[in-house]
Structure 1
Amino acid sequence: MKKPSHNRKHLEPYRKALRNNLTPAEAFLWKQLQRRKLKGRKFRRQHSIENFIVDFYCAEEQLIIELDGDVHKNPLAEEKDEKRTKKLEDWGFKVIRFENRMVFDFLPSVLKEIEDNFKK
């Protein structure tokens, strides 16, 4: 399977808009991930892979972090998220998901789970 393309030009305005309007949970987690704060890994926010824009991406680890708010809590959205995750995993990425409230209520556990998904 061919390698997926990253940060397609036509998605740039969307990525920029998303970066400028992070959800509270994304902004909170970003403070922990930016500037290589988590074990020296570089994360990008609102990074696109093919036509998907993922919340956070670490190229070194091929790791994608998705945060899910209430908008994801219905059968249609869950099915869409599952298909999207499957496609990203087929391309060789590891995808981990957290509910927004987990980031606020259990930040140390969230960071530990992210670290546990590093290839060591």
Structure 2
Amino acid sequence: MKIYYNPKLKELARQLRNSSTKSEIKLWTYLRRDQMHGYDFHRQKPIDEYIVDFFCNKLQLVIECDGYSHEIQEVYEKDLKKTKRLNELGIYVLRFSDFQIMNDVDNVIRAIEDYIFRFEANDFTPPLLPPC
């Protein structure tokens, strides 16, 4: 599937890759270099009018690392809007808090693997709008 994005986001995505959070760095150690069951993930990927933390085109999967600011109502509403738009593009979104990634990465990896195994088995119809 061809993913379109706003070219104006390219430089911002580069800056975000160079200033990753600790949780993004930790999760990236599991996703980079096709380590996640051979799937190719990209960091800070522009999609449509958004930049997502991690994206795998083959899986049509976005993984977002949410810091404490995502608990603020305004940011939470932006997250819902972003997730809804990505779902409209046929992309599923998994969200994990920084706390989950830093303190329970094994279960984060299990959740990602569960998505992959269901995807591979054609046994996964993600909800239209997963919870944030």
With the length of structure 2 as denominator, give the TM-score of the two structures. Answer: 0.85
**Larger RCO, structure (CA 8 Å, separation 6 or more):** 1
Structure 1 stretches lacking a partner, 5+ long: none
Give deviations 1:56-95, integer Å, cap 9, x for gaps: 0000100000010011111111111111101110110000
Percent identity between the aligned chains?
Answer: 37
Letter in 2 for 1:67: C
2 CA distance for matches of 1:19 and 1:108? 23
User: CA RMSD of the aligned region, Å?
Assistant: 1.2
1:26 alignment partner in structure 2: 24
With the length of structure 1 as denominator, give the TM-score of the two structures. Answer: 0.93
1:114 positional shift: 0.7
1:9 positional shift: 2.6
1 CA distance for matches of 2:74 and 2:13? 23
1:73 alignment partner in structure 2: 71
How many aligned residue pairs are there?
A: 117
Deviation beyond 6 Å, 4+ runs, structure 1: none
Instruction: Find 2:33's aligned residue among 35, 38, 42.
Output: 35
Structure 2 stretches lacking a partner, 5+ long: 121-132
1:105 alignment partner in structure 2: 103
1:10 positional shift: 1.7
